[in-house]
Amino acid sequence: MKEVTVQELHEMIQNKADFQLIDVREEYEFDTANIGGELIPLATVIDQADRISKSKPVIIHCRSGVRSAAAIRELQTRLGFDNLSNLRGGIMAWAKEIDPSLQVS
C-alpha cells in the first residue's frame, strides 16, 4: 500500500498540487478537527466510491492510519482503485508534526 507522510501532504497542499483528500473518520471526529478533506466515513466508503477520483492522486486519512488503510484495501480489492495513498499516522501525526493547535483525541 502506498503511503505519504504528513510532511509530504503538507508540501502538496502548499504547492497546490492536484489531488483529492478523503477523511474516513466519523462526522463527530471531523467536526472536532479536520485538515480540509472530504468526509466519507469508513462504513460508507464503498457506497460513496463515486465521490472518489480515479483520475488523480487520492490521499485517504483517519485518526491514526488504520481505518484509512482498511478503506484503501476495500477500494482496491472491490473496485480496482490504483491511485490511493494512506496518510501515515493519520490526523494524529498531522497534529503532532504540522499543526500542534489541532485538537484531536
User: Strands across the sheet with 3-4, in order?
Assistant: 3-4, 84-87, 58-61, 20-23, 38-39
pLDDT at position 75, please?
Answer: 98
Measured from the Cβ of residue 105, the count of other Cβ atoms closer than 10 Å reads: 8
Q: Tell me how far apart the alpha carbons of residues 45 and 52 are, in angstroms, rounded to a whole number.
A: 9
In a domain, 102, yes or no: no
Mean pLDDT (whole number) for 73-82: 98
State yes or no: pLDDT of 13 exceeds 90: yes
Total domain count, the chain = 1
- Taking only the tens place, the pLDDT of each residue in 36-71 is 999 999 999 999 999 999 999 999 999 999 999 999
CATH of the domain at 83: 3.40.250.10
In a domain, 51, yes or no: yes
In a domain, 64, yes or no: yes
In a domain, 103, yes or no: no
pLDDT at position 105, please?
Answer: 73
The boundaries of the domain holding residue 26 are 3-97
Considering the entire predicted model, what is its pTM? Answer: 0.96
Which DSSP string corresponds to the chain? --EE-HHHHHHHHHTT-S-EEEE-S-HHHHHH---SPEE--GGGTTTTGGGS-SSS-EEEE-SSSHHHHHHHHHHHHHH---SEEEETTHHHHHHHHT-TT----
In a domain, 105, yes or no: no
Q: pLDDT exceeding 90 applies to what percent of the chain?
A: 97
Q: What is the mean pLDDT of the chain?
A: 97
